[in-house]
Amino acid sequence: MSGATIRMVVYDLLGDLKQVYDDADLTPFKVYFWVMTFADRLRKQHIEKIDSGAYVERFDVTTYIDTTTGRNYFTLPAAIYDFDQDGGIAFITYPPKWDLSLPMFSSVTFTRTTPGKAARLYFREDERPTPANPYFYRLNDRIYLLGVEEINLTSVEAGLKTTLDPNDLTVDIDLAFDFPQDLIPILKRQILDIGRFVLQIPTDKINDGAAWESKNFPIQKIASVNDPTMNPQYQQDGYQQQ
């Protein structure tokens, strides 16, 4: 994916903010945090609207057996978007046990279910979880796999719609920004807005009450809405009496 890099976006915003607030304590790391936080929200909205594999990341994950339930499961290798009906999981597959040399698209695909609905599946022969008709459901960061208990399943392939982590400092900021290019102007506008808001907050570090003396506070008397003097008729009569 080509386009702007994270460095380009961060320093472009940093330059714009510094032009207005040249003495502000503003660092590239702070702007990077804003960029990744707001970009994650915008990218989530973008993925929800468009059926595309542009932001699906593929993982080969090891499966384990839950000693309490005897069910197979794997732990999510990365944070994913919490879409409706576990839409953050694009697919989970495994090669058929009877022929591991088959190509990827001959793999068995897991169907989503929930813990509450899973019990019903075992009452119908055409829906029963089997190695050829497996299911998955999610509990927190664990993905449980149904129908594969009797085979030696050691790993699965998962396609996940992963999030952007603002705390991940291992990201190479000189690589292409994994973000829709057409949304960069919107991202920049949102960050400039929050940047201006944050930088306009008073920086007083001594609680001396001086802020209450600011000329920005209203100096006129604040009257209750129930005050009779606030009645338009009263004000008119009073004016006429003067």
pLDDT at 228: 52
Apex CA 176: angle with CA 175 and CA 180, to 5°?
A: 155
The C-alpha torsion from 121 through 124 and 126 to 129, rounded to 10°, is 30
221 and 190 within one domain: no
* Number of domains composing the chain: 3
Domain membership of residue 45 (yes or no) is yes
CA distance 99 to 45: 40
For the stretch 38-68, pLDDT in tens is 999 999 999 999 999 999 999 999 999 999 9
> Do 163 and 41 contact (CB within 8 A), yes or no?
no
> Using CA atoms, how far apart are residues 138 and 112, in angstroms rounded to an integer?
9
Position 51, amino acid: D
CA atoms within 13 A on the CB side of 80: 28
Structural domain contains residue 208: no
Residues 27 and 44 in one domain: yes
Both 127 and 85 in one domain: the answer is: yes
pLDDT of amino acid 26: 77
Q: What is the pLDDT of residue 62?
A: 96
pLDDT of residue 150: 87
Kindly state whether residue 185 falls inside one of the protein's structural domains: yes
Q: Are residues 22 and 97 in the same domain?
A: no
What tens-digit pLDDT sequence spans the chain (242 residues)?
457 899 999 999 988 887 755 555 778 888 899 999 999 999 999 999 999 999 999 999 999 999 998 899 999 999 999 999 999 999 999 987 655 566 655 689 999 999 999 989 999 888 999 999 999 999 999 999 999 988 889 999 999 999 998 888 788 889 889 999 999 999 999 998 887 776 666 555 545 555 444 444 444 444 444 555 555 554 455 444 44
Question: What's the burial of 105, exposed, middle or buried (CB within 10 Å: 0-12/13-18/19+)?
Answer: exposed
Domain that includes residue 235, residue range: 216-241
DSSP state letter for 84: G
**Nearest-angstrom CA–CA distance, 14 and 172:** 18
116, 142: one domain: yes
Residue 29 resides in a domain: yes
Q: Are residues 88 and 61 in the same domain?
A: yes
Predicted local distance difference test score (pLDDT) of residue 134: 95
Same domain, 192 and 114: no
| 90 and 116 together in one domain | yes
